[in-house]
């Protein structure tokens, strides 16, 4: 993946700028990319298990809801990442964004527009100080995300008996749902679509 997963290549295929104005509730997430010992890696969070949180315990990119103080969706992604992980992406290279997605707890009518922004983090991995919303922060090599042996059908009992496509990473953690849809969009743009049901 090294030949396509570079800052310049990503900039060429991502959307420029920020999300368009939106009447309803909105959010933004940050996909931070770093060149690690095993090639490019992305920063994910494991959300803390909290009662009443529809995304409790799930894997995600850092991010959250738009605040009145945010001038745009990039500002939301940067602010939320700093709040959740103590990582300041304001000086990182902004690569672009993926398509907006509609999120919200399955089985409810709550809907939220989510804009994913990508950032290239040079130098050493930034120190992480997670807040109460984050159980773990993990840098996952891109080589794991494209490894078909990690593609599974993920049961999620809260949604009934159906299984959902997912990528198994460290331990028993699984990337699925909205975050998986973001990865599908990303690798499709790079011309290396993931061979996973989406």
| pLDDT(152) > 60 | yes
The more confident residue out of 156 and 187 is 187
The more confident residue out of 111 and 169 is 169
- Is the pTM above the cut of 0.85? yes
Domains of the chain as residue ranges with CATH = 7-144 (3.90.79.10)
- How high is the pLDDT of residue 162? 84
Nearest to 81 by CA among 5, 134, 120: 134
Mind listing the pLDDT tens digit for each residue in 112-129?
999 999 999 999 999 999
Confidence of residue 197 (pLDDT cuts 50, 70, 90): confident
Span of 47-56, 66-75, 80-89, 156-165 with lowest mean pLDDT: 47-56
Share above pLDDT 70 across residues of the chain, in percent, rounded to a whole number: 90
Contacting residues for 187 by C-beta, under 8 A, at least 6 apart: 145, 146, 193, 194
Task: Assign 74 a pLDDT band (cuts: 50, 70, 90).
Answer: very high
How much is the average pLDDT of 96-122? 86
The mean per-residue pLDDT over the stretch 96-103 comes to: 94
Of residues 97 and 4, more confidently modeled: 97
CB contact burial 18-49 (16+ within 10 A = b; e otherwise): bbeeeeeebbbbbbbbbbeeeebbbbbbbbee
Checking if the pLDDT of 159 tops 80, the result is: no
Question: What are the φ and ψ backbone dihedral angles of 149, each rounded to 5 degrees?
Answer: -65, -15
Q: What was the pLDDT predicted at 49?
A: 82
């Amino acid at each position: 993946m090294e030949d396509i997963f570079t800052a310049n290549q990503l900039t060429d295929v991502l959307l420029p700028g920020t999300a368009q104005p939106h009447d309803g509730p909105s959010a933004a997430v940050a996909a931070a990319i770093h060149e690690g010992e095993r090639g490019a890696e992305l920063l994910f969070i494991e959300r803390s298990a909290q009662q009443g949180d529809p995304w409790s315990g799930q894997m995600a990119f850092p991010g959250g809801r738009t605040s009145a103080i945010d001038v745009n969706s990039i500002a939301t992604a940067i602010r939320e990442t700093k709040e959740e992980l103590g990582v300041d992406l304001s000086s990182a290279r902004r690569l672009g964004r993926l398509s907006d997605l509609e999120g919200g707890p399955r089985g409810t009518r709550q809907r939220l527009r989510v804009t994913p922004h990508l950032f290239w983090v040079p130098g050493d991995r930034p120190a992480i100080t997670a807040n109460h919303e984050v159980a773990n922060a993990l840098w996952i090599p891109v080589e794991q995300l494209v490894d078909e042996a990690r593609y599974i059908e993920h049961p999620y009992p809260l949604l009934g008996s159906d299984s959902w496509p997912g990528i198994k990473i460290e331990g028993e953690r699984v990337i699925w749902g909205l975050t998986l849809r973001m990865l599908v969009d990303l690798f499709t743009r790079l011309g290396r679509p993931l061979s996973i049901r989406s």
